[in-house]
Structure 1
Amino acid sequence: MAEAFQFELVSPERLLLSEQIIEVVVPGTEGYMTVMAHHAPLMATVKPGVVAVKTPDGKLDSYVVFGGFVDITPDGCTLLAESAVHVADIRADELQNRIKDAQEDFEDATTREDRAKAEDLLGQLKTLEEAIKAA
Structure 2
Amino acid sequence: MATFQLEFVSPEKLLLSRPVEMAVLPAAEGEMGVLPGHAPMIVALRGGVISVREGGQETERLYVPGGFAEVTPTRVTILADEATPVAQLSRADAEARIAECEKAYAEAAVEATPEKRDAAMARLLSARAMLAAAEAV
Equivalent in the alignment of 1:123: 125
Match of 1:83 in 2: 82
- Which residues of 2 match residues 13-32 of structure 1 at below 5 A? 13-32=12-31
Query: What is the SS of the residue equivalent to 1:127?
Result: helix
Which residue of structure 2 lines up, in the alignment, with residue 64 of structure 1? 63
- Partner of residue 99, structure 2: 100
Match of 1:3 in 2: 2
Q: Report the alpha carbon displacement of residue 14 of structure 1 after superposing the two structures with TM.
A: 2.7
Gaps of 5+ in 2: none
Aligned length in residues: 134
Query: Could you tell me how far apart the structure 2 residues matched to 1:24 and 1:12 are?
Result: 21
Structure 1 residues not aligned, in runs of 5+: none
Task: With the length of structure 1 as denominator, give the TM-score of the two structures.
Answer: 0.86
Runs of 4+ displaced beyond 4 Å: none
Amino acid at match of 2:89: I
Q: Could you tell me whether the CA contact under 8 Å between 1:64 and 1:87 is conserved in 2? A: yes
- Cα separation, 2, equivalents of 1:123 and 1:99: 8
What residue identity is the alignment partner of 1:129? L
* Contact 2:47/2:125, CA 8 A, preserved across alignment: no
TM-score (normalised: structure 2) = 0.85
Q: In 1, distance between residues paired with 2:17 and 2:53?
A: 13
Task: Indicate conservation of the 8 Å contact 2:8/2:16, yes or no.
Answer: yes
Shift of 1:11: 1.7
User: RMSD of the TM alignment (CA)?
Assistant: 1.9
Question: Corresponding residue for 1:51?
Answer: 50
- Rounded Cα–Cα distance in structure 2 between residues aligned with 1:16 and 1:90: 17
Mapped contact 1:16–1:85 kept (Cα < 8 A): no
Q: Percent identical across equivalent pairs?
A: 32
The 2-side partners of 1:66 and 1:72 are apart by: 19
1:42 aligns with 2:44: no
Separation in 2, partners of 1:16, 1:87:
15
